Amino acid sequence: MHTLTLAPLLALADLAATGDDDGPLVEAEPLAHAFGACVLMWKQDPSVPEIGTRKAYLPGVVLAGPRDARIAPGEPGIAAVEPNAAGDFLPQPDTPGFDAVHTFAVVRQTLTMYARALGAAGLAMPLPWQWNSSADTSPLRVFPHGLPDTQNAFYSRTQGSLRFGHFVPEGGSERVYSCRSFDIVSHETAHAILDGIKPRWLQANAPPQTGGLHEAFGDLSAIFLALSQLDQCDAIVAQTKASLHNKSYLADIAEQFGMALGNANSLRNADNDLRLGQAGVQVHAISQVFTGALYDVLADLFAYERAPEREDDAVVLHRVAAYLAGALLRALIAAPDEAASFADVANTLLTVVAQDGKPAAYGAFIRNQFSRREIVEAAHGGSAESAAFVPGVPLAAKVCDAPGARQDRRACCGTMQLAEYDCAGRRTAESVLAGEARLLARWCAEHGRHGPALPGISPMASPPALSGSNRDGAARDGAMLA
C-alpha cells in the first residue's frame, strides 16, 4: 500500500523558505493516485443532534461494501454499498447504506487509532484479530443490522464478527439502531482488538476485574476515538469550557441506546465516582471503576498540559488523549496474560509513563486517581504518614478479587474506489488489500501465530511488546464463556 509522506513536500518548503538555490534541485515524489475514501458518519449518534454527522477521510483502500483487508460486511446482511464516482461513501442518514458505512468507518477508525498509537511508541504491529495467523488473515465481519428486535450488540470470537441489534423501545415508535452509535461500535471493536492481544481474558474462569478491564477498554475506546477527531475536541472544549468534569456528551456512553432502555442520559457515564469496594463482581459494574479512574487521569493530564495563552485547548486535548490511549493499550499489553487485575494495569501504566520520560505529575495523577478508586495503595509501606512512593516498585492492590472469584456476566449495573482503480497503473485496489493480508500473515508468522493449517511449527519467542499474548493457538471455537 502506498503511504503518502510529507517529507518531500517539507523539504521543498524548506528550500523555498531559505531561498537556497545552490544545492541540488529537490523534486517531490510524484503523488500516487491517492487511496482513501470519504465517508459520512454520526459524530455520536442520532440523539446528539447538536453535533450531527461529519465527513471523515479514511486513508486506505476501501472497496464496495464497504470493506478493506481487515474489516468486511457480514453476509447475509446489508446490500453492499457502492462508492460514488469520486470513490466516496456518502449515503443519506437513516438508511441501511448509511448504517453500513458508519459502522465500517468506526471500526476502521478504532483499529487505526490504536495501530497509530503503537506505531508512535515504536511498537508498530497490525493488531491482528484473535483468529489471525500466518494461515488465516480473515477479516472481522460486521453485521450492522445483525440482531433484529434485540437490545444488544456484541463481539463474537466464535463467529469472527460484531453484531448490532435494533429495536423499538417500550412505549416508543422510532426504531433504535445500535450500529448508529459511535460509542457502541467503538466499544465492540475494542473487545475484538483486546481479544487479539489477550485471548485468555475472555475465558469463563477469568476473575471479575479481568472482565471489567475488557468492558472498560471498550468504553474508554469510544472516548479516545471521539478525541482523536479535532472537530470533536473543539466541540468538547466549548461544551465543557475546558474542564472535562463539566457535563458533556464525551463522558456519556451510548446516549440513544441508554435512553431507549430507560436511562436518563446514556448507558454508562465515565465521569463517575465509583470505588472498587462498592462495585461487586458484575463486569459492567466493575468496569466503571477503571473507566472512571482513567477518565479522571485524562482530565488531570488535560488540565496540567493546558496553556491557552500558547496553544489552542482542542489541540492539547487531542494530543493528551492520543498519548493516554496509546499508553493504556501498551499497559494492557504489558499486563499479565491471565487473570489481570486493575492494579496490574495501573502499575504497567505507571511504568509506561516513566519509560516515556513524562513529567512526574503524570505518575502522580495515575497514583492519585487509582488509589482514590481503591484500586491500588497510594504509596509503599508504612503508616499513612510515613508511607512513601518508590518509583519503579509496583503499588499493592487495595481491593482484590476474592480467591477463585469468577466474573459475573449476569447481574447488572444498568450501565453496562473506486472499485478497481489502480495505483500508478500498476496495482489494483484488490491487490493492495491482498498485499496487506500478506503482510499480516507474515507478521503472524514472525511472531509465532501459526494457524492450524501449519501444524508442527513451534511458536517463536514472544516479542517484548507482546509478551505472552496469543501464543497458544487457541481455537476460535469451543471454550465456554461466562
Partner 1 sequence: MIISARASGGLAGRVRDYQLDTAARPDGAALETLLQRLDFFTAAPANPIGADVPRWEITVDDGARCHTVVVHEDGSDGEWQALFEHVRHAA
Is 188 a binder of partner 1 (CB under 8 A)?
Answer: yes
Going by C-beta distance under 8 Å and a sequence separation of 6 or more, which residues neighbour residue 447?
Answer: 460, 462, 463, 466
Distance CA 360, CA 354 (A): 8
Helix (H, G, I), strand (E, B) or coil at 88: coil
Residue closer to partner 1 (CB basis): 252 or 300: 252
Pairing of β 71-73 and β 53-58? unpaired
Figure out which of the listed residues 283, 321, 332, 335 binds partner 1, where binding follows CB under 8 A.
Answer: 283
Is the distance from CB of 100 to CB of 83 less than 8 angstroms?
A: no
Is 482 a binder of partner 1 (CB under 8 A)?
Answer: yes
Figure out which of the listed residues 158, 174, 307, 359 binds partner 1, where binding follows CB under 8 A.
Answer: 158
Q: Segment 199-238, which members bind partner 1 (CB under 8 A)?
A: 202-203, 214-215, 218
Residue closer to partner 1 (CB basis): 40 or 328: 328
| Cβ 19 to partner 1 shortest distance, Å | 59
List helix spans (H) across 198-311.
208-227, 230-240, 255-260, 283-305
Is the distance from CB of 219 to CB of 191 less than 8 angstroms?
A: no
Q: Please choose, out of 144-152, 227-235, 327-335, 360-368, the segment that lies near partner 1 by the rule CB under 8 A.
A: 144-152
Residue closer to partner 1 (CB basis): 15 or 474: 474
| Cβ 209 to partner 1 shortest distance, Å | 15
Is the distance from CB of 39 to CB of 101 less than 8 angstroms?
A: yes
Distance CA 338, CA 174 (A): 43
| Cβ 336 to partner 1 shortest distance, Å | 19
Is 448 a binder of partner 1 (CB under 8 A)?
Answer: no
Q: Segment 360-389, which members bind partner 1 (CB under 8 A)?
A: none
Q: Segment 70-109, which members bind partner 1 (CB under 8 A)?
A: none
Residue closer to partner 1 (CB basis): 132 or 178: 178
Site size for partner 1 (CB under 8 A): 47
Nearest C-alpha neighbor of 350 from the set 336, 338, 374, 334: 334
Q: Please choose, out of 95-103, 118-126, 151-159, 331-339, the segment that lies near partner 1 by the rule CB under 8 A.
A: 151-159
Going by C-beta distance under 8 Å and a sequence separation of 6 or more, which residues neighbour residue 373?
Answer: 274, 275, 276, 289, 290, 292, 293
Is the distance from CB of 320 to CB of 301 less than 8 angstroms?
A: yes
| Cβ 66 to partner 1 shortest distance, Å | 23
Peptide bond into 76 cis (omega under 30): yes
Distance CA 139, CA 75 (A): 13
Pairing of β 252-253 and β 161-167? unpaired
| Cβ 352 to partner 1 shortest distance, Å | 24
Q: Please choose, out of 54-62, 310-318, 356-364, 413-421, the segment that lies near partner 1 by the rule CB under 8 A.
A: 413-421
| Cβ 357 to partner 1 shortest distance, Å | 35
Residues lying near partner 1 in the complex (CB under 8 A): 146-147, 151-159, 163, 178, 184, 187-188, 191, 195, 202-203, 214-215, 218, 254, 257-258, 261, 267, 282-285, 409-416, 476-482
